[in-house]
Structure 1
C-alpha cells in the first residue's frame, strides 16, 4: 500500500469532510439514508428507528453465499481483493480483514447491492462508494506481494472467516478525519488507521444481515455518471454487455436502463433491449469505503 496522500471515508461526501467544524446532531433514519445516497424502501426503516436502543455488538455471521458459477466466484474474489488491496494494503492483516468484513457485511445489508462487485463498484449521482475505482488508483502498477496478501484475506473472508471485532460494521473512515455522518452511526472502535461504525439502534435490526447474497456478480468495470440532462437511470452498476444487430443484451445482477425503457425480454439475469441505447462497455469508465490515497 502506498503512503497516505489524503484522508478519506467510506461513503460519498455530499457535504464535504468536516474536520474542525462542530459536528451536527445525529440524523433520523430516512434523512440519513438520503444523505448517504442509499436506496432503501421508505417502509423498510421506521422514521424513529435510529433513536431506538441498539443491540449488543456481536460478530457477523460467516459469509456463506454460493456463487452461481465459477466465473461469478472468480469475480467476487477479484472485487474483494481489490477493495482490500486499495483500501488497506499498508495495514496489518487485522486491518485488511476488517475492510473485507465491511464489504461482506454490506452485501448482506438491505441498504446495499446483493453482490460483492456490486458493493465495491457501487455509485450514485453523488459519487463513488469506493473512491479508488474513480480516482485512477487502479491504473497504477500493482505490488505483486501486497496483491497476493490481499487475495489471501479475500479468500478467507469469502470462505467464512469472520473478523469479530468489527461486528456488523458497514462504514469506516481514517483516523485523520471526522466525516459528517459519524454522529449518526454507532462507533465500534479502531483497527489500524480506520475507525469502524455500524447502524444505530433500530436501523441495524432493520437493515443488517437482512438480505442474502445474489450469487451473480456484475461486470467489474465502473460506469460513468449520467450527464445532467440525460434520462434518469435505474442504476449505475456496470455489467457485461453484448451488442448485435440493434439488440443490446445485458448480463448481470442489475441493468442500466433509461427511465421509461423497459426490456423486451428478461430471463435468468439476462435482459435484452431492442432500440435502447446501450451503456458503455466495461472498461470505458468509474464506486466509497475509505480509500487510502484520495479524498472521498
Structure 2
C-alpha cells in the first residue's frame, strides 16, 4: 500500500511540474508576437487537416482533379473532317449522324429531293441549300431556306407535295443524314459552282432563261444568278 501511495504521489508531482512548465511556456510565448502567430497557424493547419480527413476520398479526388475541357453540343455532334470531296468509303466510316432542327431540315431535303441520285447528286442538292443560306436574299436559317414559299410555289417540292415527310427507307435516310452532317460541319462545296437553284431534267422552267447554268448531275440541272459586274463609265 505504501508503495502504491508513493507511486501515486510521484505522478501527481510530475503532472504538477509539467502543468507549471506548460503554463510558463505559454506565458513566455504570449509576449512574443511571432510565437503567437506560429501557434495560430499551427492550429489552423490542424483544423484544416481534421476537416479534410472527414471528406470522402472520391470527393477529394474530384476537387483536386485537373479541369476537363468543356465539350459543347455542336462539337459533340460534328463528324470527322471530310476529305476534299465526300466519297462513299469515307461516308461509310462515319457514325450515325444526328443534330438539331436545322440538321433535320437539310437531311430531309437531301432525302426527299435526291434519294435516288448518286452520292454526288445528293451532295449537290445540299450545296444549293447552303449556298442559299450564304446569300442575303434568302432566309437566314436552313429550315427557313427549305420552307420558303413564293408565287411559284414551294422552294423545295417535298415541303408541299402532300406526302408523308417521315423517311421510309432507313438506309437512304442514314446516308442523307451523314451527308447533311458533313456539309453543315464544313465539307467543301465544289460540285455546283455556287448554284442556288436546280430542277429535274424532265422540265424546263421559264426562270432558267435568266440564270446561269453551272452543272448537270444525275437528274438535276443547277443554276445561279448571273454575276453582276460594275458598269464601266
TM-score (norm 1): 0.43
- 2:208 is aligned, of 182, 199, 212, to 182
How far apart are 1:201 and its partner, in Å? 2.2
Distance 1:134 1:172 in 2: 17
Alignment partner of 1:122 is 2:148: yes
Q: Decide which structure has greater strand share.
A: 1
Counterpart for residue 196 of structure 2: 170
How far apart are 1:127 and its partner, in Å? 2.2
Alignment partner of 1:107 is 2:133: yes
- Indicate if the aligned counterparts of 2:167 and 2:173 stay in contact, CA closer than 8 A: no
- Indicate if the aligned counterparts of 1:122 and 1:128 stay in contact, CA closer than 8 A: yes
Distance 2:172 2:105 in 1: 15
TM-score (norm 2): 0.54
- 2:117 is aligned, of 76, 88, 91, to 91
How far apart are 1:129 and its partner, in Å? 1.1
- Gaps of at least 5 residues in structure 1 are 1-65, 206-296
- Gaps of at least 5 residues in structure 2 are 1-72, 78-98
1:111-260 equivalent positions in 2, closer than 5 A:
111-139=137-165, 142-202=168-228
**Matched position secondary structure for 2:195:** coil
1:117/1:189 CA distance change after superposition, 3 Å: same
How far apart are 1:126 and its partner, in Å? 4.4
1:261-272 equivalent positions in 2, closer than 5 A:
none
- Indicate if the aligned counterparts of 1:132 and 1:138 stay in contact, CA closer than 8 A: no
Distance 1:190 1:108 in 2: 22
What is the aligned-residue RMSD (CA, Å)?
Answer: 2.2
Distance 1:134 1:162 in 2: 30
1:274-285 equivalent positions in 2, closer than 5 A:
none
Structure of higher CA gyration radius: 2
Distance 1:125 1:201 in 2: 24
Q: CA deviation digits over 1:263-282, x for unaligned, max 9?
A: xxxxxxxxxxxxxxxxxxxx
